[in-house]
């Protein structure tokens, strides 16, 4: 099912990022998770968050910032107090200082 494929993509992506430090492979798994999540769902927000994180860790800041911006444009109004939205704002604010 799409739900199980989403879960598998998140789990595999996080494992690649945290245990193997293979951010390119992590991003691949997380992109799969993103494709299996319903539009505007919390699952989509979570997949985008971890994908942006993997891309940033790989040094692909422009790509990660596009995803961070999409998180804010999609979920900032509906989930302003969520950890993902708050951290996304902080990350983008930090990047703009540089």
Closest CA to 88 of 39, 51, 60: 51
Of 72, 53, 73, 77, which Cα lies nearest the Cα of 63?
A: 53
The pLDDT tens digits of the residues spanning 7-65 come to 999 999 999 999 999 999 999 999 999 999 999 999 999 999 999 999 999 999 999 99
Q: How far is CA 61 from the centre of its chain?
A: 13
Task: Indicate the pTM of the whole model.
Answer: 0.94
The phi and psi torsions of 50 (rounded to 5 degrees) equal -70, -30
C-alpha distance from residue 50 to each of 6, 19, 57, 71, 96 (Å): 12, 15, 10, 11, 20
The pLDDT assigned to 97 comes to 84
Q: Has residue 98 got a pLDDT over 90?
A: no
């Amino acid at each position: 099912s799409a739900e199980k494929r989403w879960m598998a993509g998140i789990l595999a992506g996080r494992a690649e990022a945290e245990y193997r430090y293979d951010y390119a492979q992590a991003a691949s798994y997380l992109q799969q998770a993103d494709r299996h999540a319903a539009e505007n769902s919390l699952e989509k927000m979570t997949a985008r968050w971890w994908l942006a994180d993997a891309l940033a860790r790989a040094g692909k800041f422009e790509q990660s910032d596009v995803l961070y911006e999409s998180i804010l444009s999609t979920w900032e109004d509906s989930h302003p107090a969520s950890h993902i939205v708050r951290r996304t704002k902080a990350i983008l604010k930090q990047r703009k200082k540089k």
